[in-house]
Amino acid sequence: MGSKRQLPEIVLFGDSLTQWAFDELTGGFGWVLEQKYAGKAEVFNEDSYTSSWLKPNFQRIIERATEPYAPPTLLLIIFLGANDACLPPTGAHVPIDKFEDNLREFVETVLIQDNMADTKIVLITPPPINIPDPLPDEIGIGPAGAAATKQDPKQDRGYLTYMSKKSYGDKIMEIARFYEETDRVAGLDFWKKLIDAGLADQNRLGDEDAYDEERLPGCGLKWAKEFKSGYFTDRLHLGGLAYDILSRELLELVLKKWPELDPDRI
């Protein structure tokens, strides 16, 4: 009797936003990939907290993928930055230069493996957070801090965190562009996809000031509006509407850039 055929693999590599992406109730992109590639590829998840904490997990991915007779790894999806971009002194914070080093290490390690010569990589930017409007006062910084916040709302920790996530997303897209010539790496600007969706919901997409940093959806400033219900389950984690956008944009990117990854052709 012949041995069971080993299916090629798709690996998702990230934090809790990736872990929760396998929930059928929210239709996360992990669950969508499982349905799309059922019987054609196995979808695996490796998750932790930050790009630094994930290094042991990444090593396991490489060891498994490069074992003798290992099935091919078709696609590695890296979805990091949401925790790395948290502001110090939070333990999750990874400075942006270290974050860049970590991501480049992940990408370059895959690119030099003979056993992963056909593996494609997608880098996904972290989403924005969603600060309710008006900005809550209970931010735990005391009267002096609250007074300062009222004088300069852009110094509020929530807004600074919001913009930090944008900076880390910009860095991810910069890294993706750097490796474009390999034709094996692509970036998905999920930050902008969600911002565009929020602007469209507010009938502001296309306005002259649509991307004014003081009016971006969910930024918490008095000139902005939060995302509507369904995009987030709390300020940080994604709901069904956001995962729908991510799943759709991810599949569109992958199948357009690498038609050979269409499940009908595997």
> Which helix (DSSP H) or strand (DSSP E) does residue 174 occupy?
helix 157-178
Q: Side-chain half-sphere of 173: how many Cα atoms within 13 Å?
A: 13
The residue annotated as part of the active site, out of 3, 16, 52, 167, is: 16
Please answer whether residues 97 and 87 qualify as being in contact, where contact means their C-beta atoms are separated by less than 8 angstroms: no
DSSP state of 41: -
| Whole-number Å distance between alpha carbons of 179 and 39 | 31
Q: Which of 116, 255, 103, 248 is nearest to 173 (CA)?
A: 103
State yes or no: is 16 an active-site residue. Answer: yes
Please answer whether residues 58 and 102 qualify as being in contact, where contact means their C-beta atoms are separated by less than 8 angstroms: no
SS3 22: helix
Catalytic residue IDs: 16
